[in-house]
């Protein structure tokens, strides 16, 4: 995130290039993004809070037992959204500005984050072989991941973030894994969320690709 708060809210790029938001304008984009994430990460919890206020003679253990799936959905939403936020934060922590196209991509990413609690609840409450529930759940994450990659490419293309030193395929590793999980979950709905296991080696594969690329460059 830019630290130059004295910069103009937006400036035109050289040679009639795209509008670039800097300084306080960039800060507002980041703060707005953080606010949307904070709201989305608590949406699933709110009904549980209301239920906890009205136990109607039940014990805390009975409340947990009666709302086990809802608690699982809330925990799952928190974890997934938190992972997405960390990736978004890492991108904008080094950004010196944002183009209009990057802002549009960021809004699409925020739409995925705001919508994500809905497919999470549907996945928890629906039958195990509900293709639509699985498609919405994994599809929303897929769009969010792809959008972040496109946003990073847009910022890098205009010199607003440090260049990625890895091979092009490395930044698409998670997107490819999510796409595979999406296809598997739709083709085999009885597998429930198990196709997401293809994401487990994603970080290792990405690090391996980057390490191999650095080794070739140094050699």
Mean pLDDT for the chain? 85
**Tens digits of residue pLDDT in 171-219:** 999 999 999 999 998 888 888 778 888 988 998 998 898 888 887 777 6
Strands of 98-99's sheet in order across: 10-12, 19-21, 98-99
Q: pLDDT value at position 59? A: 85
Q: Compute how many other C-beta atoms are within 10 angstroms of the C-beta atom of residue 33.
A: 19
Q: What is the pLDDT of residues 129-182, one digit of tens each?
A: 788 888 899 999 999 999 999 999 999 999 999 998 788 899 999 999 999 999
Distance of alpha carbon 112 from alpha carbon 72, whole angstroms: 20
Beta-carbon contacts of 66 under 8 Å, excluding residues fewer than 6 positions away, are 58
pLDDT of residue 143: 97
Cα gap 43→114, rounded to integer Å: 9
pTM (2 decimals)? 0.83
In angstroms, the Cα distances linking 126 to 9, 39, 130 are 46, 24, 6
Residue 99 has φ and ψ, to the nearest 5°, of -80, 165
Q: What is the mean pLDDT of residues 30-37?
A: 96
Output the pLDDT for position 126: 72
Give 78 or 1, the one with higher predicted confidence.
78
Average pLDDT for residues 117-135, to the nearest whole number?
81
Could you state, in order of their start, the residue ranges of all structural domains in the chain? 18-218
Predicted confidence at residue 32, as pLDDT, reads 97
């Amino acid at each position: 995130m830019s630290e130059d708060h004295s910069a103009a809210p937006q400036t035109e790029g050289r040679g009639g290039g795209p509008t670039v938001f800097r300084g306080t304008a960039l800060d507002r984009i980041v703060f707005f993004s953080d606010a949307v994430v904070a709201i989305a990460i608590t949406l699933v919890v709110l009904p549980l809070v209301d239920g906890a206020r009205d136990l109607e003679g039940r014990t805390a253990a009975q409340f947990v037992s009666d709302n086990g799936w809802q608690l699982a959905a809330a925990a799952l939403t928190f974890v997934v959204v938190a992972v997405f936020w960390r990736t978004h934060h890492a991108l904008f922590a080094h950004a010196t500005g944002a183009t209009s196209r990057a802002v549009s991509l960021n809004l699409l990413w925020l739409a995925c984050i705001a919508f994500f609690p809905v497919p999470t609840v549907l996945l928890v409450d629906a039958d195990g072989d509900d293709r639509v529930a699985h498609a919405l759940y994994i599809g929303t994450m897929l769009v969010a991941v792809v959008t972040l990659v496109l946003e990073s490419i847009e910022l890098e293309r205009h010199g607003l973030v440090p260049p990625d030193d890895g091979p092009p395929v490395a930044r698409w590793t998670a997107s490819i894994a999510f796409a595979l999980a999406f296809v598997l979950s739709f083709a085999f709905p009885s597998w429930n969320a198990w196709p997401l296991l293809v994401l487990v080696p994603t970080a290792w594969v990405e690090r391996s690709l980057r390490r191999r690329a650095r080794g070739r460059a140094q050699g």
